[in-house]
Structure 1
């Protein structure tokens, strides 16, 4: 295989994601299954990282390699040796002396081979050269559980202040491989090259800020890995064809579902309008909105394809009987008007989605049901779980699983690296979206997208997965064209077309 072909392969990320602790426990067994030693595996990792660093920065001549005491540091020594052999000027700064590295581990062998090749190892407090062009981060790997301590923390800070790009080996130092959280200092990588398998902490939480461009090499363990069950699934736009098929030419609006949306209290009509229009743009056949009477004219003027009525006990009863799917929460408020509507909706056994103030009221009066999707952002999730936002974000995977266990059905935990979980232990991460989505109304849009997909007879879990991907992929397409700052929720509406019709994606 040529280097060009190998580099092209590394650009493609897998869809299976594996538990980080499980990977550490089974790495030795995987190497045995492939007929290689752990040191040979380290040589493969260092070689893959070197190829990628050279590919990204082909004209760089001066590399600084930061090496820790463990196997992550061993990978870094391999990179250093290969770079020096290629004629680059390489300096290695390491945490700890020879006596601090376990002589029975492959990292020690990699360190000694770097020395044998003529390389020097400088202490952690050594001054940095002025003309560094690339920094290799091999300080801390996937075994990190707590905040980085000195001298690691100081080296991480220094790397982050430097103008040179940083390439992290396996994971940015300081980032938790399972949760995507960082208890202390964390490397802000330009590129991360991860090995053997994707870990959850590379795809959610703070990872979205610090991982940079993510690449992957299975180190020749693909066959073994495919025989193991992944912990969760990574979702991207190319997978939309699995859920969204071309429509039957003979279909009519009744075939595409009847969706009832309830919300839009006084001053909050925009939320319900965006939810309704998103459902239509996603392909729902008929969308009926029940809202405050004073909102009706504005909604019908803005989007005449919506059926809009005043929310009363009678209209809600009729709507619940008419509908195939129910969405409640956008702009609902927490007055008696909204509370009464939620109480009536809660009596239905039809598939439904709860968002926004419906979730705030659910937190006050918890209930478990399996015909429902809930779509909390971290603040709403914190209220539903009775803990702080920081606690929710410190382990988003655990938070999503706990929400599904406590409230039933399907949970969409929104945020950087949105997670989708169900009460039967399915778990996925939507590897789409960008910072432009941090603006009002995006959640209302998502509720309408998922509701529209539910109306087209997707299961709760599939609708949640597909809806999150459609939502984030449309935002990514818009950001690629115009940038992230100033992106409005309604800007996404025309951008939905290719993603809800994925057969047309180029």
Structure 2
């Protein structure tokens, strides 16, 4: 079995809930619907049991590992149902019987014992004959690195050859951030309950979660009436933002986009951004760059308009444009600084990327008519912090960036986050093949092209990130992830913006 199981995205809900909200929410839901929390635990255990049977119908030996909390209670329910189905179950619990369990978990434990089940003390020597491991050690409340004996148990699970079904979240992973402070169970599947949590989708989640599944436990109607703290988008959502064009539409209606960048040796960045904006549907695209880049740029893509970047051409182009993209290949020397200072004087809608962000970090301002698209390194400079601090809590980082700089902020990475006054979203698209140069330039071009077509800033950012990641996923489906380059995405973009 691969160390990193192939990521599959089943049908998942669009709503994402922080751990504290989920804990409080399940209590309110139970009260509203006349259920007990133990009833919900029974539903959760059955959902996980059914998922195990779905994927591992022939495995007859299961190992269930239970911790001190309600996550362990879910494990007791799974074990009882598996035993009743004739499966040989070994249940190992941390300090079995030595520490009081929460009331619902205690009920589940007693039900397991009444059914004839036995409890062994969990230790690092796991039975090697087990064909499936159920991880019920630590749940969504964990906020620090797992301590003994959990850390050694987690490492033992990861050494075991059997596939792993994690209950709610892989033990050791922070449910709100996807941060791994210490040992984390590397799950093959994760069955979560009621709703998705941010830590399933961003941060380091993809290294640990495996194939993610969600069961609302019959609370769908109740959830529909609740506010949505965070939204999840995937490729099926593109039509939410993009509809068919009016039959008589023309290039002027589809927007005039100006791209500024391409310092010496950086012509590729501005060219990829410009072509991506055309592929996303912008009507007219003008590039201002160094004179030496114009010939190669027009030879490669004659549909572009290109001029040398001077103060005169920039002022005229700023007046001409509906939307501005600045930053791809801009550099941070005097040429780039002067271009950015003149661009600051415009009140047109703009996207700032790459070195425009690095220059912004040196001279901060707040604007509502702007999209920022930092990767974690650029985000750290904008926040005057470190990459490690940004990655420790990506949702907090993107919210703080939006608060400090205004507008809309796209924090790139596995599980890209989008924050604006309209809310916060996570893009459930993309793959490791995107870890190569130029991908951010393509994203800037896509979002800029959608802005030019008069999408609102938050919608353009969400749609652009989804199209970008989905294009990479389509390339990976055809050719694999390793060896993917940014320009591979360009033919896929025009297919995705026509849902």
Q: TM-score, normalised by structure 1?
A: 0.96
CA shift at 1:224, angstroms? 1.6
Output the CA distance in 2 between the equivalents of 1:70 and 1:354. 46
Question: Which one is further off, 383-392 or 232-241?
Answer: 232-241
Query: What's the secondary structure of 1:163's corresponding residue?
Result: coil
CA shift at 1:127, angstroms? 2.9
- Is 1:148 paired with 2:146? yes
Could you tell me which residue of structure 1 aligns to residue 467 of structure 2?
Answer: 470
Output the CA distance in 1 between the equivalents of 2:10 and 2:385. 39
Aligned with residue 451 of structure 2, among 451, 454, 459: 454
CA shift at 1:357, angstroms? 0.3
Could you tell me which residue of structure 1 aligns to residue 312 of structure 2?
Answer: 314
CA shift at 1:169, angstroms? 0.5
Question: Which one is further off, 288-297 or 11-20?
Answer: 11-20
CA shift at 1:11, angstroms? 4.6
Aligned with residue 494 of structure 2, among 493, 497, 500: 497
Output the CA distance in 1 between the equivalents of 2:393 and 2:126. 35
Output the CA distance in 1 between the equivalents of 2:37 and 2:10. 25
Q: TM-score, normalised by structure 2?
A: 0.97
The CA RMSD measured in Å over matched residues stands at 1.1
Aligned with residue 293 of structure 1, among 291, 294, 303: 291
Aligned with residue 378 of structure 2, among 371, 377, 380: 380
* 8 Å Cα contact 2:164/2:186 also seen in 1: yes
Could you tell me which residue of structure 1 aligns to residue 131 of structure 2?
Answer: 133
Output the CA distance in 2 between the equivalents of 1:211 and 1:313. 51
Output the CA distance in 2 between the equivalents of 1:161 and 1:443. 36
CA shift at 1:242, angstroms? 1.5
Aligned with residue 170 of structure 1, among 168, 171, 176: 168
Work out the number of aligned pairs and report it. Answer: 491
Could you tell me which residue of structure 2 aligns to residue 7 of structure 1?
Answer: none
Q: Which runs of 5+ in 1 are unaligned?
A: 1-9
Could you tell me which residue of structure 1 aligns to residue 389 of structure 2?
Answer: 391
Output the CA distance in 2 between the equivalents of 1:342 and 1:181. 35
- Is 1:65 paired with 2:58? no
- Is 1:428 paired with 2:417? no
Could you tell me which residue of structure 2 aligns to residue 240 of structure 1?
Answer: 238
Q: Which runs of 5+ in 2 are unaligned?
A: 1-8
Deviating above 6 A after TM superposition, structure 1's stretches of 4 or more consecutive aligned residues are none
Output the CA distance in 2 between the equivalents of 1:149 and 1:228. 35
* 8 Å Cα contact 1:401/1:425 also seen in 2: no
After superposition, the C-alpha distances for 1:209-260 in whole angstroms (9 at most, x for unaligned) are: 1111111111111122111101111011111112111111111111100000
Output the CA distance in 1 between the equivalents of 2:193 and 2:124. 29
* 8 Å Cα contact 1:264/1:272 also seen in 2: yes
- Is 1:439 paired with 2:426? no
* 8 Å Cα contact 2:63/2:90 also seen in 1: yes
Query: What's the secondary structure of 2:253's corresponding residue?
Result: helix
Going from structure 1 to structure 2, the CA distance change for 1:257 and 1:126 (only over 3 Å counts) comes to closer
Output the CA distance in 2 between the equivalents of 1:291 and 1:262. 6
CA shift at 1:425, angstroms? 5.4
Could you tell me which residue of structure 2 aligns to residue 82 of structure 1?
Answer: 81
Output the CA distance in 1 between the equivalents of 2:492 and 2:100. 54
Could you tell me which residue of structure 2 aligns to residue 205 of structure 1?
Answer: 203
Going from structure 1 to structure 2, the CA distance change for 1:146 and 1:259 (only over 3 Å counts) comes to same
Aligned with residue 192 of structure 1, among 187, 190, 193: 190
Output the CA distance in 2 between the equivalents of 1:63 and 1:16. 32
Output the CA distance in 2 between the equivalents of 1:95 and 1:413. 39
Output the CA distance in 2 between the equivalents of 1:233 and 1:26. 17
After superposition, the C-alpha distances for 1:54-88 in whole angstroms (9 at most, x for unaligned) are: 10111111111110011000000110111111111
